[in-house]
Amino acid sequence: MLFLLAALVPMTQAQRPAEWRNASAAEQAQDTVAFAGIDQAIREESPDVQSAVVVWQGRVVYQFYRDGSPDTLRNVHSVSKSALSTLTGIAWGQGHLASLDERIVSLVPEWAGLNPDPRAAAITVRHLLTMTAGFEVNDPTGTATAGHPQDAWKRPMRDDPGRAFAYDNALIPMLSVVLERATGMSVPDYARRHLVGPLALGEPSYQQGLSMRTLDMAKLGQLYLQNGVWAGQQILLEAYVHDATRPQSAGGLPLSLPYGYMWWVVRSNAVRPTFMAAGYGGQFVWVYPPLDLVIATTSAVSRESLQRFQAMKLIRGRLFAAAQQRAKEPSR
């Protein structure tokens, strides 16, 4: 594949793009009116929710931080899957991956003899992205801890690759190995050069899973909403964005929604359906293209919070209603 994206170089602070579209004083006043009372409602009605960011038309119109700190790095759990998908798409666009249908054993040849089932040799990058690799998975809640990728590759096969969806946390370290082999860089280094720098994200933490600012979660959704463009630069190929945020399989548990390339997709007849990154316990990046809207949330995780589902209720309730109200008012 041709190098469709120019190689990016680290940016100086002066070169970094503006984080969001600037708002006039009048627009900020309208935002305040539209989202009035929501801080108090979250504190009283949604105690699990720790932070929320609403971006409308490329501009931050609402922020909530229970701890008062927008710069806190928060564990996003499986939102990291959508971030890893993004890096994979960037690598493909830069020609590091010849094709999403490239076989894993061609990129990591030492795995070729580890799984006695001949179907394992047919697993491709696309199968990892769509969670249709075919391995035996017994994890309906999506909470199993991913082990060593080499051991995960040895697991018994349940289906032919590409045949059926199974939410499988063990595919993530596999895809990380593939990305590192393809690019010749560690995942954090590649992310820093080709995603963190260009989008002016706060430096994430990779200890015990990915932790990032809630604002940066929203930026990830905004990048997809803008068809891979940020500050006039094509960071991610539009073709990849299109396929990543549309159903590649019927999906299944734990969200019981169709699945793209590590993005969940809401069933819809819309030209661009709603899609989301979802992490255990209420970490969400929810993108609603018809309203040019991105909402990111983080939540405290507990056995009880998993049942309450407060973050999604907040997204689809008060925050969405406020955004709709704001969209009806012409900006001044």
Residues near 212 by beta carbon (within 8 Å), at least 6 away in sequence: 73, 74, 76, 83, 201, 202, 204, 205
Angle at 76 (CA atoms; ends 220, 59), nearest 5 degrees = 35
Phi, psi of 95, rounded to the nearest 5 degrees: 85, 5
pLDDT means over runs of 10, the chain (332 residues): 35 49 91 97 97 97 98 97 98 98 98 96 98 87 71 96 96 97 98 98 95 98 98 96 97 95 95 96 97 98 87 98 93 67
Token pair 């080709």 is found at 194
Distances (CA, A) of 35 to 38, 61, 322, 327, 332: 6, 8, 6, 12, 17
Answer whether 70's CB lies under 8 Å from 214's CB.
yes
- CATH numbers and ranges of domains, the chain: 25-328 (3.40.710.10)
* pTM for the predicted model, two decimal places: 0.92
